[in-house]
Amino acid sequence: MVGIGTHDAPETHMPRALDTLRKRADFLKASRARRQATPGFVVQGRRRKPDEAGDTIRVGFTCSKKVGNAVARNRAKRRLRELSRLVLPANAREGWDYVLIGRRDATAQRDFAQLQTDLARALRKLHGEATRK
């Protein structure tokens, strides 16, 4: 199948669009919002205000130097990106920003199926707390 890229594939597995957080200000806003720790990573989530950008789901990724050298940090972030691609469309809410933070020795080595379960559970807890306010 020469010439067929991922952009040509039907997107039946992604009912909603995911945008990537890129500005430091967006990461800082998320850091002041709700957070849920899991064994493999930490999730920060916040509902955007009505005057902020759109109804898409936005997600950012970060790993500090505590996670390891550049190779270890990049591996952890690759796993977090794939995790978000698989789990967020079905479990996240439109109009929210999420930041996934890698953990030392856990993000890169934890079983991927367990990471998926962790993220789904963390999102339920984040949203459950948000609906009580």
Per-residue pLDDT band at 16 (split at 50, 70, 90): low
Query: Which domain covers residue 48, as residue numbers?
Result: 17-132
Any idea what the CATH number is for the domain that residue 69 is in?
3.30.230.10
With respect to residue 1, please indicate whether it lies within any of the assigned structural domains. Answer: no
Residue 59 falls inside a structural domain: yes
Task: Specify if 2 maps to a domain.
Answer: no
Q: Please indicate, yes or no, if residue 62 is contained in any of the structural domains.
A: yes
Q: How confident is the model at residue 7 (pLDDT cuts 50, 70, 90)?
A: very low
In a domain, 5, yes or no: no
Structure tokens at 60: 């950012």
**How many angstroms separate the CA atoms of 124 and 110, rounded?**
21
When pLDDT is cut at 50, 70 and 90, the band that residue 11 belongs to is very low
pLDDT confidence of 129, banded at 50, 70, 90? low
Cα of 7 vs its chain's centroid, Å: 21
Cα(55)–Cα(34) distance, integer angstroms? 19
User: Is residue 132 very low, low, confident or very high in pLDDT (cuts 50, 70, 90)?
Assistant: very low
Q: Is residue 79 part of a domain?
A: yes
Give me the number of domains the chain comprises. 1
